[in-house]
């Protein structure tokens, strides 16, 4: 910037002639201001705080490397973000009704929540599933459940995102089998599987197999989908759960991108060229409470990933450089106290995600700190997105906060902090090793502890919790689960086992077992045969665990 010197002189003159006399007369709060992630916030930001003569290089234009301002040139002027409300509970029949209701209300994509037994690879009649069937998501035991879940949903028109990780290959192939039954061309099938098991070891806990076995399957998903599902996002590398576990914004960026690096390396080691799968990688971030920090976080993550893919992995296809991401508002910020205030929290978080350039968005419902959302609260959460999209005007300009001195300074700061973490993880031997030795877990736990101390001391205000409290008021109604749900699901599973062809099931599971025992053998083809034979999720996972065992986390003291 040629006028850097004159800017410095003008700033000093303002301090002397305007600020200092005002302070002497009126005083100023002496608090140390910072973001929720403890990034210091200055009183005022000017052009002196942004990246000077490197500004255009670092910020650039939308749709151009390094994508700080967005991955598409026209962003929401060309197409709004996908309004993808996360939903699923009880049986496949109940969840299907909720999906069709949300689609009728203007939702533009499905996001499937699975119950804990499904996430952990247990059938609904397994002892470990007792009491958890259908509680935090939908129960899926066999292809028959997936057929019901997606009944009357045109898979060539509606994209399907599934929050599933350890058994992601099986659930994906169930969708594929349903699409084939619907007569859908697989090349038109669109959607996403989360498929990010590394963050399970570090932050969430719904893992099944040990890391190396999981990485083998993930690489095979990349291989199979590159040939059969060209429009499917084969992984959604998730920072959301890292943030929910208590990380800072910089940690969310760094640990997420470190996991992304590990997945790219695993695919390359399996013989895949980076540009065959790079364009289908996607990400999943949290929208937390600090409005400007969150906007800057998305911009910094895009810039870092573009550099990683171009410079580190030498990807040639610009689509491989683009960090495309889904966002969900922060469940950990929702309060059971005065739950109506959650509507305000979610609105601010959703607006930050949109101003940060998200490709799809889920807005939490106001009652989710108490129960699964009712139909009315789910509708209000969707309406929140629609008001932002159609009434606020923020979608009319691409990256409307680009060039803000505060935003650009925060973007640079978060990028720099995230780089330091990435360098540390590289020094440890990569994301898998950093998780193995407990580094990532400890960093998240320490950040969570610091934040909780601030809440308990009152330094971090949570409205309705540690300030502005009142007698708790429950909402008029919360969703209550049918107590017969588990028995009905088990009866359905028993019936499917009786009606299916036992010979086909046995042959398919034996073929899978043989493939699993051969380190270089592809797995997706035999997994699909098992799914099509109506083998249950638990039966398929049992074949894998007999070979690899179930992961048991180390104890860190």
Structural domain of 320: 52-80+194-396+408-457
Helices 405-428 and 291-307, packing angle to 10 deg: 50
Instruction: Please tell me which residue, 409 or 475, carries the higher pLDDT value.
Output: 409
Residue linked to tokens 């042959």 = 507
> Which pLDDT tens digit goes with each residue over 440-455?
999 999 999 999 999 9
Q: Which helix (H) or strand (E) holds 360?
A: strand 360-362
410-449 pLDDT tens trace: 999 999 999 999 999 999 999 999 999 999 999 999 999 9
Is residue 406 pLDDT above 70, yes or no? yes
Query: CATH number of the domain that 267 lies in?
Result: 3.20.20.240
What percentage of the chain reaches a pLDDT higher than 70?
A: 96
- What element of type H or E holds 427? helix 405-428
Q: Nearest-CA neighbor of 301 among 330, 281, 272?
A: 281
Residue 106 domain-assigned (yes or no): no
Residue 90, both tokens? 């009880």
Q: What is the pLDDT of residue 481?
A: 73
360 strand-pairing partners: 82, 326
| Residue 91 in tokens | 């049986």
Residue 500: which residues within 8 A CB-CB, separation 6 or more?
A: 533, 534
Per-residue pLDDT band at 474 (split at 50, 70, 90): low
Residue 312 covered by a domain: yes
CA-based nearest residue to 243, from 290, 211, 192, 209: 290
Spatial CA neighbour of 361 closest among 84, 129, 25, 142: 84
Q: Specify whether the CB–CB gap between 447 and 248 falls below 8 A.
A: yes
- What pLDDT does 109 receive? 85
Between residues 28 and 518, which one has the greater pLDDT? 518
| C-alpha span between 408 and 295 (Å, rounded) | 10
pLDDT tens digits, 300-322: 999 999 999 999 999 999 999 99
The band of 1, judged by pLDDT with boundaries at 50, 70 and 90, is very low
pLDDT of residue 520: 87
Q: How many Å apart are CA 313 and CA 333, to the nearest integer?
A: 36
Name the residue among 295, 324, 320 with its Cα closest to residue 308: 320
Q: Which of 40-49, 52-61, 456-465, 495-504 has the lowest mean pLDDT?
A: 52-61
pLDDT in tens, 332-370: 999 999 999 999 999 999 999 999 999 999 999 999 998
Name residues whose C-beta falls within 8 Å of residue 245's C-beta, 6 or more positions apart in sequence: 202, 203, 204, 444, 448
Residue 139 in tokens? 């129960």
Q: Closest by alpha carbon to 241, among 198, 199, 283? A: 199
Q: What gap in Å lies between CA 324 and CA 161, rounded to an integer?
A: 14
What are the helix (H) ranges across 270-365?
274-277, 291-307, 318-321, 342-355
Q: Which of 69-73, 95-99, 475-479, 511-515 has the lowest mean pLDDT?
A: 475-479
Look at residue 307 and give its three-state secondary structure: helix
334: number of Cβ within 10 Å: 19
- 426 in any annotated domain: yes
Q: Distances from the Cα of 270 to the Cαs of 216, 228, 503, 516, in angstroms? A: 8, 18, 33, 15
Question: pLDDT tens digits for 197-253?
Answer: 999 999 989 999 999 999 999 999 999 999 999 999 999 999 999 999 999 999 999
For the stretch 374-390, pLDDT in tens is 889 989 999 999 999 99
| pLDDT-above-90 percentage for the chain | 79
Please state the φ and ψ torsions of residue 144, each to the nearest 5 degrees: -60, -40
Angstrom CA distances, 450 to 59, 247, 332, stand at: 32, 10, 15
Crossing angle of helices 502-516/524-532, nearest 10°?
A: 160
Residue 145 lies in a domain: no
377 against 554, higher pLDDT: 377
Write the CA distances from 461 to 31, 331, 452, 465, 469, integer angstroms: 14, 17, 11, 8, 11
Of 281, 287, 386, whose CA–CA distance to 345 is shortest?
Answer: 287
What pTM was estimated for this model as a whole?
Answer: 0.89
Pairing, β 281-287 against β 235-238: parallel
The number of folded domains in the chain is 1
Alpha-carbon gap, residue 96 to 103, rounded angstroms: 11
Task: Please state the three-class secondary structure of 125-144 as a single string.
Answer: CCHHHCCCCCCCCECCCCHH
Q: Which helix (H) or strand (E) holds 160?
A: strand 159-163
User: Do the domain assignments include residue 23?
Assistant: no
In a domain, 19, yes or no: no
Return the biggest CA–CA distance within the chain.
88
Q: Residue 20 CB: number of other CB atoms within 10 A?
A: 11
Q: 72 vs 56, which has greater pLDDT?
A: 72
* 122 secondary structure, DSSP code: -
Query: Quick one: pLDDT at residue 53?
Result: 59
Residue 473 has pLDDT above 70, yes or no: no
CA distance 76 to 313: 30
Query: What mean pLDDT is predicted for residues 490-515?
Result: 97
Of the pLDDT bands very low, low, confident and very high (cuts 50, 70, 90), residue 11 is confident
Would you say residue 332 lies in a domain? Answer: yes
Going 548 to 135 to 353 to 408, the CA torsion angle's sign is negative
Confirm whether 265 is domain-assigned. Answer: yes
Pick the more confident residue, 27 or 274. Answer: 274
pLDDT at res. 555: 74
Q: Tell me how far apart the alpha carbons of residues 40 and 527 are, in angstroms, rounded to a whole number.
A: 51
The residue count for the chain: 557
Highest mean pLDDT among 24-28, 29-33, 43-47, 170-174: 170-174
What is the C-alpha separation between 162 and 156, in angstroms, rounded? 16
pLDDT of residue 3: 62
In the chain, what is the straight-line distance between the N-terminal and C-terminal CA atoms, in Å? Answer: 51
Q: Calculate the average pLDDT of the chain.
A: 92
Q: What is the three-class DSSP state of 270? A: coil
């Amino acid at each position: 910037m040629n006028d850097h010197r004159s800017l410095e002189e003008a700033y000093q003159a303002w301090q002397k002639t305007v600020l200092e006399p005002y302070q002497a007369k009126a005083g100023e709060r002496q608090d140390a201001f910072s973001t929720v992630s403890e990034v210091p916030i200055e009183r005022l930001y000017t052009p002196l705080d942004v990246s000077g003569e490197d500004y255009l290089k670092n910020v650039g234009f939308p749709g151009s490397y390094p994508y700080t301002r967005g991955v598409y040139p026209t962003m929401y002027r060309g197409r709004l973000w996908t309004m993808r409300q996360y939903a699923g509970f009880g049986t496949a029949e109940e969840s299907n009704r909720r999906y069709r209701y949300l689609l009728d209300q203007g939702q533009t994509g499905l996001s499937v929540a699975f119950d804990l037994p499904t996430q952990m690879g247990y059938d609904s009649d397994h002892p470990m599933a007792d009491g958890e069937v259908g509680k935090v998501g939908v129960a899926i035991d066999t292809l028959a459940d997936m057929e019901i879940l997606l009944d009357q949903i045109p898979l060539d028109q509606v994209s399907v995102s599934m929050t599933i990780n350890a058994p992601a290959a099986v659930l994906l192939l169930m969708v594929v089998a349903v699409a084939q039954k619907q007569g859908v061309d697989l090349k038109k099938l669109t959607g996403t599987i989360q498929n990010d098991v590394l963050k399970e070891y570090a932050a969430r806990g719904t893992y099944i197999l040990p890391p190396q076995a999981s990485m083998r399957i993930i690489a095979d998903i990349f291989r199979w989908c590159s040939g059969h599902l060209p429009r499917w996002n084969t992984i959604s590398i998730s920072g959301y759960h890292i943030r929910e576990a208590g990380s800072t914004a910089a940690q969310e960026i760094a640990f997420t991108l470190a996991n992304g690096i590990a997945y790219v390396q695993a695919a390359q080691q399996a013989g895949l060229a980076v540009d065959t799968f790079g364009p289908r990688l996607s990400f999943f971030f949290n929208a937390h409470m600090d409005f400007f920090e969150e906007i800057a976080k998305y911009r910094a993550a895009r810039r870092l990933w573009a550099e990683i893919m171009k410079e580190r992995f030498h990807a040639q296809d610009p689509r491989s450089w683009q960090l495309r991401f889904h966002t969900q508002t922060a469940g950990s910020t929702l309060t059971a106290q005065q739950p109506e205030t959650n509507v305000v929290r979610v609105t601010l978080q959703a607006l930050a995600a949109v101003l940060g350039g998200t490709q799809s968005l889920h807005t939490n419902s106001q009652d989710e700190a108490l129960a699964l959302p009712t139909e009315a609260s789910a509708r209000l959460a969707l309406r929140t997105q629609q008001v932002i999209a159609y009434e606020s005007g923020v979608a009319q300009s691409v990256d409307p906060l680009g060039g803000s001195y505060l935003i650009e300074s925060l973007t640079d700061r978060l990028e720099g902090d995230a780089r330091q973490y990435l360098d540390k993880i590289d020094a440890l031997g990569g994301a898998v090793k950093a998780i193995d030795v407990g580094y990532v877990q400890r960093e998240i736990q320490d950040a969570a502890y610091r934040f909780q101390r601030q809440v308990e001391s009152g330094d971090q205000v949570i409205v309705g919790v540690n300030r502005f409290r009142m007698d708790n008021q429950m909402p008029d109604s919360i969703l209550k689960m049918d107590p017969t749900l588990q028995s009905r699901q088990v009866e359905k599973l028993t019936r499917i086992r009786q009606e299916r062809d036992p010979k086909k099931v046995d042959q398919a599971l034996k073929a899978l077992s043989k493939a699993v025992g051969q380190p270089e053998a592809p797995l997706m083809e035999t997994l699909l045969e098992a799914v099509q034979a109506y083998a249950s999720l638990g039966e398929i996972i049992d074949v894998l665990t007999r070979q690899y065992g179930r992961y048991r986390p180390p104890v860190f003291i």
